Amino acid sequence: MDQQSDRRRHLRYVDGATRVLLRGQGLLGRLKAEARTLLDYSRFGLAFAHDAELDPGVVLNIEVDAGELHVTGIPALVRDTRPEADGFRVGVQFTPERLREGAAEKLREELHELEKLLKRRI
């Protein structure tokens, strides 16, 4: 077990079929989505593969598509980016507190449901 996994406080789940969509501004201000591979997940954050390094502190708006469950509008803070053989591993922490109170609670419930779904798939 490496040092990074020793520091984790929450179990992580991996599912090769689940995709992460990053939402951001594209050319001419159009909204675009970039699909990325989910590397691991917990209800508090996730890691995904990316071809570019993202700076810690950057706020992303992400979606997680697990087939039968699709969670949208997840604000997430980039915590770290590590080089990998084929790009970068980006770790983010979910920040539902950036949403209105009712929306934040709904998002927390959806993230918990997603965690339970991924746990069943293992």
pTM beyond cutoff 0.85: no
Between 36 and 29, name the one with better pLDDT.
36
Phi, psi of 32 (to 5 degrees): -130, 155
| Structural domain that includes position 114 | 3-121
Instruction: Please give the average per-residue pLDDT across 5-32, as a whole number.
Output: 61
| The pLDDT value given to residue 32 | 63
Contacts of 22 (CB under 8 A, 6+ apart): 33, 34, 36, 60, 61, 62
For 60, the token pair is: 């992303």
Phi, psi of 120 (to 5 degrees): -65, -30
For 108, the token pair is: 């927390």
Q: What angle do CA 21, 23, 24 make, to 5 degrees?
A: 145
| The pLDDT value given to residue 14 | 64
Looking at the predicted structure, is the pLDDT value of residue 117 above 60?
yes
Quote the longest CA-to-CA distance of the chain. 46
Cβ–Cβ contacts within 10 Å for residue 47, how many?
24
Looking at the predicted structure, is the pLDDT value of residue 2 above 50?
no
Number of domains in the chain: 1
Cα separation, 44 vs 96, in Å, equals 10
CATH of the domain at 52: 2.40.10.220
Q: Residue 16 in 3-state DSSP?
A: coil
